[in-house]
């Protein structure tokens, strides 16, 4: 109805997962890369959790599109399958016609087919959507399927996508064998208020919009409060707000349009800070990836390692700088030197390898002499001293920027000074594809585990604004 009014080719905020609208911000792009890498180079069961409407199914669809050709997938969209029904569903997906066969025979034929695929160089992955609703007996059968192997290689890999209730289900005593086989845990974070504007305009432009930002700050705040950062709620409110603006014959989305959408959707402001355990999820992800790559590098020491790029949004008012939609949470290990432009998804994740060779120091333009070092210069000097003294093993990376924008970083440092946290901030110069950039770190810690634990103690403003990760020296 409002497509022509806003110059759109299609509805930008549909709630049905469409991969062209995949948003890589708020750790989603990083999880996707990590999943692809994990499936390509490792074995084990993987769990991806997230609240209702956080984007689990979209992530699952993106994974189906991005996996290498030698990895074949079996997608179980119906979690309420019984143990026997699941086995028949997997057999059917493998091209086996076993109707009427007893369960023991079905399992035998599945194993034979998986062994045949392994000899052909194929890998099979079962993706279970809404796994929190799967019966315990069916989950246990998945574990038995995972145990199938030929020689030392597993025949099947499994990814469980589910709501946080899946964690409670796996904590039950009779599920401990399955839980022990889950080697990687990822949690999809809600959208922070700082990222929400980028998300809204990303969806608009993906739908064909070419104009300026149409969502006012007050409208964005209301959408953030009412949605609690959950994508499905954001989409519903944004869609109805566009309709309200169309009816009013305006191209600007104001607070009263969102209020009308909230009334129609029966949603009320309910914004709360994310659970600290969930905020630490990004750091846990980073540490898991570091372990994966360390294992991978033992057997493939000369494999090319590359690094994903990131940008940082410009700060507005008192809000600290926040990652743009293209930003993915940076590697926990010092970045690698610039590599040739061709990258595979696994190579982008493999940037976390330990023992990177020395990298060239980027040139940072000096500020005009004022007699007293600026906050920027002070924290740059502190960062260099940190690298030289080698007294710390790890730090918390708040964000990084591909460009050195002194004024904006200086503004961030002034706010840190106002919070009494300036001495905890370290600026490290870094090269990003031949561009001079910066990493902004918080605190120094004797180990990566200590840094991970300290994420819970970050100032609330930083917890809300940044997707923190672990940086090791």
Which residue, 250, 265, 280, sits at the end of a domain?
A: 265
Q: What is the DSSP letter of 336?
A: P
Domain CATH for 197: 1.10.8.60
- Calculated CA dihedral for residues 189, 192, 197, 201, nearest 10 degrees: 0
Amino acid 399: pLDDT: 81
- For helices 217-227 and 193-206, angle between their N-to-C axes, nearest 10 degrees: 100
Query: Domain containing 350: what range?
Result: 303-472
Amino acid 370: pLDDT: 53
Tell me the longest C-alpha to C-alpha distance in the chain: 87
Report the DSSP beta bridge partners of residue 187: 49
Residue 116: how many CB atoms within 10 A of its CB? 12
Q: Same structural domain for residues 86 and 165?
A: yes
Amino acid 408: pLDDT: 81
Whether 270 is covered by a domain: the verdict is no
Residue 126 in 3-state DSSP?
strand
Whether 244 is covered by a domain: the verdict is yes
231, 55 in Cβ contact below 8 A? yes
Q: Same structural domain for residues 105 and 249?
A: no
- On the CB side of 319, how many CA atoms lie within 13 Å of its CA? 18
Q: Same structural domain for residues 313 and 432?
A: yes
- d(Cα 116, Cα 15) in Å, to the nearest integer? 39
Environment class of 318 (CB within 10 Å of its CB; exposed 0-12, middle 13-18, buried 19+) = exposed
pTM above 0.75, yes or no: no
Residue 370: how many CB atoms within 10 A of its CB? 8
Q: Which of 443, 452, 449 is nearest to 386 (CA)?
A: 443
Whether 53 is covered by a domain: the verdict is yes
Which residue, 207, 241, 265, sits at the end of a domain?
A: 265
- d(Cα 363, Cα 358) in Å, to the nearest integer? 16
Q: Same structural domain for residues 175 and 199?
A: no
Q: Same structural domain for residues 336 and 449?
A: yes
Whether 132 is covered by a domain: the verdict is yes
Domain count, the chain: 3
Tokens of 25: 């911000």
Q: Same structural domain for residues 333 and 382?
A: yes
289, 332 in Cβ contact below 8 A? yes
Which residue, 172, 187, 202, sits at the end of a domain?
A: 187
In 390-470, where does DSSP find H-type helix?
Answer: 406-418, 448-454, 460-465
- d(Cα 191, Cα 198) in Å, to the nearest integer? 10
Q: Same structural domain for residues 120 and 237?
A: no
Give average pLDDT by consecutive 10-residue segment, the chain, 473 residues: 88 90 87 85 81 89 87 89 90 86 85 91 90 91 88 87 90 89 88 89 92 93 92 94 93 93 78 42 45 43 34 38 37 35 38 37 48 88 87 85 82 89 92 77 88 86 75 78
* Distances in whole angstroms, Cα of residue 394 to Cα of each of 15, 389, 447: 40, 13, 6
Residue 362: how many CB atoms within 10 A of its CB? 16
Whether 428 is covered by a domain: the verdict is yes
Q: Same structural domain for residues 352 and 457?
A: yes
Q: Same structural domain for residues 182 and 101?
A: yes
Whether 38 is covered by a domain: the verdict is yes
- Calculated CA dihedral for residues 268, 273, 275, 279, nearest 10 degrees: 130
Q: Same structural domain for residues 181 and 198?
A: no
Question: Average pLDDT of the chain?
Answer: 77
Whether 280 is covered by a domain: the verdict is no
Chain mean position to CA 451: 19
Report CA Rg, the chain. Answer: 24
Q: Same structural domain for residues 13 and 46?
A: no
Q: Same structural domain for residues 211 and 171?
A: no
Q: Give me the sheet containing 425-432, strands edge to edge.
A: 425-432, 435-445, 394-401, 469-472
Domain CATH for 109: 3.40.50.300
Whether 44 is covered by a domain: the verdict is yes
273, 463 in Cβ contact below 8 A? yes
């Amino acid at each position: 109805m409002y497509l022509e009014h806003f110059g759109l080719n299609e509805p930008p905020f549909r709630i049905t997962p469409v991969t062209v609208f995949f948003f890589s911000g708020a750790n989603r792009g990083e999880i996707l890369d990590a999943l692809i890498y994990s499936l390509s180079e490792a074995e084990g069961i993987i769990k991806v959790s997230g609240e209702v409407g956080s984007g689990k199914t979209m992530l699952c669809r993106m994974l189906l599109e991005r996996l290498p050709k030698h990895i074949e997938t079996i997608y179980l969209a119906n979690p309420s399958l019984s143990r026997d029904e699941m086995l028949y569903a997997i057999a059917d997906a493998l091209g086996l016609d076993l109707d009427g066969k007893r369960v023991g025979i079905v399992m035998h034929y599945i194993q034979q087919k998986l062994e045949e695929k392994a000899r052909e160089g194929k890998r099979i992955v079962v993706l279970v959507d809404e796994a929190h609703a799967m019966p315990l007996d069916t989950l246990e059968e998945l574990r038995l399927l995972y145990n199938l192997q030929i020689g030392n290689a597993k025949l099947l890999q499994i990814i469980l996508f589910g709501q946080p209730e899946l964690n409670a289900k796996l904590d039950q005593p009779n599920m401990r064998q399955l839980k022990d086989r889950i080697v990687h845990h990822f949690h999809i974070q809600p959208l922070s208020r700082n990222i929400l504007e980028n998300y809204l305009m990303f969806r608009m432009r993906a739908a064909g919009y070419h104009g300026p930002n149409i969502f006012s700050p007050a409208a964005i705040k209301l959408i953030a409060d009412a949605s609690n950062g959950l994508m499905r709620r954001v989409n519903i409110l944004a869609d109805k707000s566009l309709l309200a603006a169309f009816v009013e014959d305006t191209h600007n989305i104001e607070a009263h349009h969102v209020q009308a959408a909230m009334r129609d959707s029966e949603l009320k402001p309910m914004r709360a800070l994310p659970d600290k355990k969930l905020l630490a999820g990004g750091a846990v992800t980073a540490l898991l990836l570091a372990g994966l790559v360390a294992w991978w590098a033992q057997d493939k020491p000369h494999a090319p390692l590359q690094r994903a790029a990131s940008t940082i949004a410009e700060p507005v008012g008192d809000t600290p700088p926040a990652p743009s939609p293209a930003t993915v949470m940076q590697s926990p290990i010092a970045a690698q030197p610039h590599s040739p432009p061709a990258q595979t998804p696994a190579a982008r994740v493999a940037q976390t390898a330990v023992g990177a060779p020395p990298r060239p120091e980027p040139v940072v333009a000096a500020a005009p002499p004022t007699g007293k070092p600026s906050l920027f210069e002070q924290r740059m000097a502190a960062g260099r001293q940190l690298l030289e003294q080698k007294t710390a093993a790890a730090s918390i990376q708040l964000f990084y920027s591909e460009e050195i924008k002194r004024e904006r970083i200086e503004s961030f440092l002034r706010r840190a000074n106002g919070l009494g946290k300036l001495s905890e901030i370290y600026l490290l110069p870094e090269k990003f594809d031949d561009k001079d950039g910066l990493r902004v770190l918080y605190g120094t810690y004797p180990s990566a585990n200590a840094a991970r634990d300290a994420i819970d103690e970050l100032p609330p403003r930083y917890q809300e604004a940044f997707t923190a990760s672990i940086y090791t020296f």
